[in-house]
Amino acid sequence: MKNDSNLFFTCSLIEFIGRRQKLKRSEVAAGLGEKNLRRIYEYADVFHCEPIEKTADEFITRCGLPNGDFDNENACKYLVPDYWTIGEVYERLIEDVCGDDTIGTLQEVYASWIDGSISDYNSDFYYQPRDYIRECYREGKIL
């Protein structure tokens, strides 16, 4: 368990942008692209000194991320977890399944089926233990 603060910030920023633009997190990760994801990850210690809203706006504009209609906050019947909480869920999963390429693994995780399950705030999946989420990801389904 690494506790990679740069990865935590990167995942939290993806979550923040997804909420702001009403996009699936897989769409945000794809829209940012590998080059920008690597830049965010590499300079997370600098970006986190600015308000996350400012950093998000810069990347939304730079990448031309559109407004969508995926509103999992509004669809939530219960308390909506904050973007830092969901960023941590992704960070831990990526750490737990990562090989040598953190950003490559990030892209794989966000592009996978698990993105929809973590983004369903009406389920209890996102707050399950990290080893359970990891095993679900590895098996390709909720166990």
The total number of structural domains in the chain stands at 1
Q: What is the pLDDT of residue 75?
A: 87
CA 98/CA 2 separation, integer angstroms: 11
**In this predicted model, what pLDDT tens digit does every residue of 62-107 receive, in sequence order?**
999 999 999 988 888 888 899 999 999 999 999 999 988 999 999 9
> How many alpha carbons lie under 13 Å from residue 102 in its C-beta half-sphere?
19
Q: What is the pLDDT of residue 107?
A: 97
Residue type, 37: L
| Number of neighbouring beta carbons within 10 Å of residue 106 | 24
CA 138/CA 135 separation, integer angstroms: 5
| Number of neighbouring beta carbons within 10 Å of residue 136 | 18
Checking if the pLDDT of 10 tops 60, the result is: yes
Determine contact, residues 65/20, Cβ cutoff 8 Å: no
Structural domain of residue 40, as residue ranges? 5-139
Q: What is the pLDDT of residue 79?
A: 84
What average pLDDT does the chain have? 94
Structure tokens that stand for 126 in this block: 């996102």
With a CB cutoff of 8 Å and minimum separation 6, the contacts of 85 are: 126
